[in-house]
């Protein structure tokens, strides 16, 4: 069991989301940055979809009431019993130990994964918190959480090679697939969207990021559509002409025209951009976006196998360029 | 012209069956959505039917966009099944503390409160789709004689079950939320319950009938439907 001694920001339990219920109006939710969250889970030997803690900017202080192995995902300093520890590395905590997680140096969302995951009751097949419908709630100081069962030996001391540590930028180029309501925009409007830089505003949360920048011109069809579905990363443009990127806690349907949808591979980049950060959009084909996603997933699979001890990593230097190579570990029976 | 296929990002495809709200278009939408769901191909993540479109969420690691296009075509011939209409009765306690705006709705339309209740509870409303928030049903068929604009300033908290009117639209809040609808009553039913399968009392394609009840009946049903509140961390 762990005790949340101090929760300084919005912190919730999340997994990869609640799928299958959007037709009943139930938002998907789930982690904002699936790459950071999944890597944190791999570090403690968990599967991709294991529930973990997601915090915004500032991390919590946690007291362990039993032994646990944990890892922090994010660009952040932390201390275990007052001794500095690193993110992207797994540590063993004993009963009575205190973990103090600091403030993110870059990025917006941080993660804390525990071997075995956080134990709670799933709602509609998922552990994701969706506050508006009381599917879980924001965690507060004094809360205690149970951890799932896991064999802890050989789970500590795992380290994510620095080549694979996510980098969070406050200025990103983001791939979008235009549509599905591009006819609601003038040609000029679409040009404005693709040529301008947009700034993430403070009116941004798990539901969506509101952007500030040159207004996007609608065609004579206008900003409103017959209520339609909202996939992750949809960029809605209401009458103001200012785009809104719909994220994890987005409503399942909505009535504003969508100028494009962010490629799934770039969702973490968007999610980790802080208010004041800048985004530029680049039109891509579905095929290009899917190819980028497949490449990322191949890398994720390799990292997962490496952290599980199924692959061994070697550093190579080829023509002054450092490469990382993996070979299979033959398992002793 | 229809259906039109469009990518909606790299993990969804929209199949659009029309460009206006129409019962027959919507019936086709649900027929196609159900056919794909029943077939449950391994690349399928979920299907979201709306007024005029079906969104198919798929796993791009298992299938490409062009393959999805081909894979969904056989389902387009699905026709609405001739089934008995499922009519869901929603008991509603009108007015008073349950419907603080009913007098405004009556006044705005030059009616008495009793007339508003009669007009609102008379039709069979068709559920076109669910969306927005958990359990929220988009109903068709409200008499325009009770149409009323939204509140200028939305309430911060509308209790679950509140029945309201917004323009030409009517419906209920399945969960507590902020909201700008004119509240005319409240149902004691738990219309959305995540511990049940399916979690929503209505599904798209159902018909809804509002049945006026008294305050006593409201509390009687309410006690059966709603247990204690729960504030567990997870």
Query: Residue B143 to residues A328, B63, B122: CA-CA distances in angstroms?
Result: 69, 46, 9
Q: How far is B163 from chain A (nearest CA, A)?
A: 17
pLDDT over 70, % of chain B: 97
Three-class DSSP category at B36: helix
Q: Which residue of A13, A19, A251 is in closest CB contact with B132?
A: A251
Instruction: Test A135 with B194 for CB contact under 8 angstroms.
Output: yes
Instruction: Test A177 with B198 for CB contact under 8 angstroms.
Output: no
**Which residues in chain B (137-156) have CB-CB distances under 8 A to chain A?**
138
Q: If you average pLDDT over residues B137-152, what whole number do you get?
A: 94
Closest CA to A156 of A93, A219, A203: A93
Q: How far is B175 from chain A (nearest CA, A)?
A: 6
Q: If you average pLDDT over residues B41-52, what whole number do you get?
A: 97
Q: Is the ipTM of this complex over 0.90?
A: yes
Which of A228, A232, A260, A270 should one mutate to test binding to chain B, selecting the residue with the greatest count of B CBs within 10 A? A228
Which value, to the nearest 10 degrees, does the dihedral of the CA atoms of residues B68, B52, A133, B94 take? Answer: -160
The pTM assigned to this predicted structure is: 0.94
Q: Distance between CA atoms of A180 and A188, rounded to whole angstroms?
A: 17
> Which residue in B has a C-alpha nearest to residue A128's C-alpha?
B234
Which of A17, A25, A120, A263 should one mutate to test binding to chain B, selecting the residue with the greatest count of B CBs within 10 A? A25
Residues of chain B with C-beta less than 8 angstroms from the C-beta of A297? 61
Higher pLDDT residue, B60 or B132?
A: B60
Helix (H) or strand (E) holding B39: helix B23-39
Across A8-22, A221-235, A310-324, least confident range: A310-324
Buried b (16+ CB within 10 A) or exposed e, A299-308: ebebbbebbe
* pLDDT number for residue B132: 85
Three-class DSSP category at B222: helix
Residue B36's Cα: distance from chain center in Å?
Answer: 21
Cα–Cα–Cα angle for A306, A307, A309, nearest 5°?
Answer: 65
Query: Residue B47 to residues A302, B9, B51, B128, B202: CA-CA distances in angstroms?
Result: 31, 15, 13, 15, 17
Q: If you average pLDDT over residues B207-230, what whole number do you get?
A: 90
> Which residue in A has a C-alpha nearest to residue B21's C-alpha?
A226
* pLDDT number for residue A332: 65
Q: Is B175 in the A-facing interface, judged by CB distances under 8 Å?
A: yes
pLDDT above 60: residue B231: no
B27 C-beta neighbours (distance < 10 Å), count: 18
Instruction: Test B48 with A252 for CB contact under 8 angstroms.
Output: yes
pLDDT above 80: residue A333: no
* pLDDT number for residue B232: 62
Q: How far is A305 from chain B (nearest CA, A)?
A: 18
């Amino acid at each position: 069991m762990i005790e949340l001694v101090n929760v300084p920001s919005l912190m919730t339990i999340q997994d990869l989301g609640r799928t299958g219920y959007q037709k009943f109006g139930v938002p998907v939710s789930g982690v904002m940055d699936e790459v950071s969250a999944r890597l944190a889970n791999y570090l403690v030997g968990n599967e991709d979809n294991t529930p973990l803690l997601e915090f915004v900017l500032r991390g919590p202080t946690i007291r362990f009431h039993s032994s646990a192995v944990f890892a922090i995902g994010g660009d952040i300093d932390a201390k275990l019993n007052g001794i500095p520890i690193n993110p992207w590395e797994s540590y063993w905590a004993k009963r009575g130990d205190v973990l103090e997680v600091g403030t993110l140096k870059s990025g917006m969302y941080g993660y804390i994964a525990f071997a075995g995951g956080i134990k709670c009751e799933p709602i509609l097949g998922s552990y994701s918190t969706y506050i508006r419908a009381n599917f879980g709630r924001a965690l507060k100081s004094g809360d205690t959480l149970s951890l799932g069962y896991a064999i802890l030996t050989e789970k500590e001391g795992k380290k994510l090679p620095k080549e694979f540590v996510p980098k969070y930028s406050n200025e990103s180029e983001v791939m979008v697939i235009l549509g599905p309501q591009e006819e609601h925009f003038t040609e000029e409007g679409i040009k404005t969207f693709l040529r301008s830089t947009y700034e993430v505003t403070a009116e941004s949360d798990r539901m969506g990021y509101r952007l500030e920048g040159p207004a996007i011109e609608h065609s004579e069809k206008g900003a409103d559509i017959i209520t339609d579905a909202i996939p992750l990363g949809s960029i809605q443009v209401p009458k103001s002409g200012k785009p809104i990127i719909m994220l994890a806690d987005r409503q399942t349907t909505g009535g504003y025209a969508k100028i494009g949808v962010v490629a799934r591979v770039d969702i973490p980049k968007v999610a980790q951009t802080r208010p004041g950060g800048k985004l530029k959009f680049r039109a891509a084909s579905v095929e290009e976006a899917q190819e980028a996603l497949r490449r990322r997933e191949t890398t994720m699979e390799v990292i997962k196998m490496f952290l599980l001890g199924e692959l061994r990593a070697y550093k190579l230097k080829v023509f002054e360029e450092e490469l990382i190579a993996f070979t299979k570990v033959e398992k002793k029976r | 012209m229809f259906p039109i296929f469009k990518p909606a990002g790299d993990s969804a495809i929209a199949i659009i069956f029309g460009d206006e709200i129409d019962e027959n278009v919507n019936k086709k939408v649900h027929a196609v959505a159900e056919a794909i769901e029943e077939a449950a191909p391994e690349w399928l993540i979920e299907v979201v039917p709306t007024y005029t479109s079906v969104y198919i969420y798929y796993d791009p690691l298992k299938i490409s966009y062009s393959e999805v296009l081909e894979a969904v075509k056989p389902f387009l011939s699905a026709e609405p099944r001739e089934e008995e209409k499922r009519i869901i009765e929603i008991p509603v306690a009108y007015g008073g503390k349950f419907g603080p705006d009913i007098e405004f709705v009556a006044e705005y339309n030059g009616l008495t409160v009793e007339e508003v209740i009669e007009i609102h509870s008379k039709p069979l409303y068709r559920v076109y789709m669910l969306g927005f928030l958990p359990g929220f049903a988009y109903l068709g068929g409200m008499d325009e004689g009770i149409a009323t604009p939204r509140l200028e300033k939305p309430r911060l908290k509308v209790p679950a079950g509140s029945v309201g009117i917004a323009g030409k639209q009517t419906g209920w809040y399945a969960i507590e939320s902020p909201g700008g609808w004119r509240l005319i009553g409240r149902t004691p039913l738990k219309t959305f319950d995540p511990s049940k399968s399916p979690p929503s009392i209505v599904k798209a394609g159902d018909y809804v009938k509002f049945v006026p009840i008294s305050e006593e009946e409201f509390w009687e049903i309410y006690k059966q439907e709603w247990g204690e509140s729960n504030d567990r961390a997870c």
